Amino acid sequence: MPPRPLLICSIGNPGPQYANTLHSAAHTVLYRLASHLGYPSFQKDRSWGGGLLSKPRFAGGGEGRNWTLWQSTAYMNESGKGVRAALTAWKRSLPSGEGEGRLVVVHDELEKPLGAVSVKTKQGLSARGHNGLKSCAGSLGGVEWVRIGVGIGRPESRESTDVARYVLRKMDSEQKMAVEGAVEGVVEGLRRLEVG
């Protein structure tokens, strides 16, 4: 059985002021994944929900050749509409006979240690307060999708202002290295998803 095509979407906040923040860790991972796979630079594509798109240059064998990478350019709490539009465009772009594709949403995960990766295939899970996941769940309706969480750790305080300050600050070099290192666990999860 050929590998299943995957649409891998990252959600985070847009613009330079949010680049390299813990809340946009998924975007950092997707940039690293594109580099790991030898994909071209991300390009804005209006027909794909206005997000940033990167696809393999050539068809054929090799790791990730059935993977399409897409980054949301909406704010986290509005990311679901773009993910839905990207999914629609991706399904139209799949050649007939490619088999059933799978949607994967990569996001930051406060409840996991920095750089840890979790793959959740079960449907209807709680968003645990994550506004990006809430937005995706609301926009995707009955669509089955997989969540890949990238751990960003949690501040000691549980006060919402302290948590917001923590997730919206720029990553230091140690944090960035741990988040970029998560790409290995993400690739491992994607390999399992494309065959299962």
Sheet arrangement for strand 52-54: 43-44, 52-54, 67-71, 6-10, 102-109, 145-151, 117-120
Residue 36 bears catalytic tag: no
Q: What are phi and psi of 108, to 5 degrees?
A: -75, 150
Could you say which of 23, 27, 107, 130 is catalytic? Answer: 23
Closest CA to 6 of 93, 73, 79: 93
The CA-atom distances, in angstroms, between 1 and each of 5, 152, 180, 194 are 12, 36, 31, 10
Query: What is the maximum span of the chain, computed from C-alpha positions, in angstroms?
Result: 51
Cβ-contact 99, 5 below 8 angstroms: yes
Q: Measured between alpha carbons, how far is 180 from 166 in angstroms, rounded to an integer?
A: 18
Active site residues: 23
